[in-house]
Amino acid sequence: MQTAPALAHVWRGDFLECVHRGHAVIADATGQVVEAWGDPDLTLLPRSSTKMIQALPLLDSGAADARGLTPEHLALACASHEGDRMHTDRVTRWLADLGLSDDALRCGPQPPRPKDIRHEMIRTGESPCQVHNNCSGKHTGFLTLGAHLGAGPEYIDIDHPVQRAVKTAFEEVTGEDSPGFGIDGCSAPNFATSLKGLARAMAFFATAEKRSDARSAAALRLTQAMIAHPELVAGTGRACTELMQAMDGRAAIKTGAEGVFVAILPDRGLGIALKIEDGATRGAECALAALLARVGVLDPAHPAAQKRLNAPITNWRGVHTGRICPADDLLPGS
């Protein structure tokens, strides 16, 4: 494996205090690597960055249309949401439309991210439910597909028809046979691929409008849903939401645990995938913002971009002590 170059630097005053190293690939729909930093052949578990891939069978099977799913449903199927009311209310209604309740989910309960909701739940003695889990939209999509296929309730099992359909879609759009899988934080299988395979998959989504097959049509609808509803894909203050809003429909982006980030760039016909070796979210957000600026879909002067490209570090007194910034060779013109 090639040595991981520095992708983001953390400064404290004039001192370089931390370096986030990683790998990044920009690919086109033919599978060609347009630009790369580090090792394009790196094998990784892409975690939640591939939720839009996991949602492909929901659409190309006909399940989404049979249930009358809207772009909001599709955005939630791709989401790692906050557990805010705008997320949980929609997931709860979706489950009810399926004749199901929270108990049908297999993602596990998770405290909601917004402090006001957490504090209210503590005051009222309410425990977090599975709908609060950041993956509850994806799992409700799995349940929708499972019902359409007439399959059993254990949709996260690796040999379940839902996961077999997900694996088929995953290998098709990455252009690779997956070497295996791990169990994600939400208990669903997460298939491994190479970094260039992940970037190729994002380019498949980016160029979906140019093709007429069912899988491409599904990819186009999912991309459009994410772009139309960035607040459902993540939430207030989150990088996915804020950067998509800043780009005015020019890209769909998605984070994954352990320093993974991807981008779908329809007007460039390109896909981006990156992995920070130490798993740091701040490093992944910084590097991704720099690459979006590099390909010309993000204005580096936009406040949402500056929040990641020159992220200020403050101490408990609010004193500005440092900054996080990308490596120079990620920036436009380098």
DSSP string, 38-57: S-TT-EE--GGGGHHHHTHH
**What pLDDT is attached to residue 131?**
98
Task: For domain 6-330, give the CATH number.
Answer: 3.40.710
Contact indicator for 86, 231 with CB cutoff of 8 Å: yes
Nearest Cα residue to 277 out of 39, 59, 90: 39
**What pLDDT is attached to residue 1?**
66
DSSP type of residue 115? H
**What pLDDT is attached to residue 31?**
87
Give how far Cα 252 sits from Cα of 95, 199, 267, 328, Å.
26, 13, 11, 24
**What pLDDT is attached to residue 69?**
98
Give the SS3 label for residue 266.
coil
**What pLDDT is attached to residue 29?**
84
Nearest Cα residue to 287 out of 6, 5, 8, 3: 8
Pairing label, strands 252-256, 260-265? antiparallel
CA distance 144 to 118: 29
Pairing label, strands 43-44, 6-12? unpaired
pLDDT tens series, the chain, 334 aa = 689 999 999 999 999 999 999 999 999 989 899 999 999 999 999 999 999 999 999 999 999 999 999 999 999 999 999 999 999 999 999 999 999 999 999 999 999 999 999 999 999 999 999 999 999 999 999 999 999 999 999 999 999 999 999 999 999 999 999 999 999 999 999 999 999 999 999 999 999 999 999 999 999 999 999 999 999 999 999 999 999 999 999 999 999 999 999 999 999 999 999 999 999 999 999 999 999 999 999 999 999 999 999 889 999 999 999 999 999 999 887 7
Q: Where are the domains of the chain?
A: 6-330
Full-prediction pTM beyond 0.95? yes
β-partners of residue 309 are: none
CA distance 149 to 166: 13
Exposed e or buried b for every residue in 126-147, given b needs 16+ CB within 10 A? Answer: eebbbbbbbbbbbbbbbbbbbb
β-partners of residue 21 are: 6
The total of other beta-carbon atoms located within 10 Å of residue 312's CB is 11
**What pLDDT is attached to residue 75?**
98
Question: Chain-centre distance of CA 169, in angstroms?
Answer: 17
CA Rg value for the chain: 19
Contact indicator for 169, 141 with CB cutoff of 8 Å: no
Return the structure tokens found at 155.
Answer: 């949709």
**What pLDDT is attached to residue 185?**
97
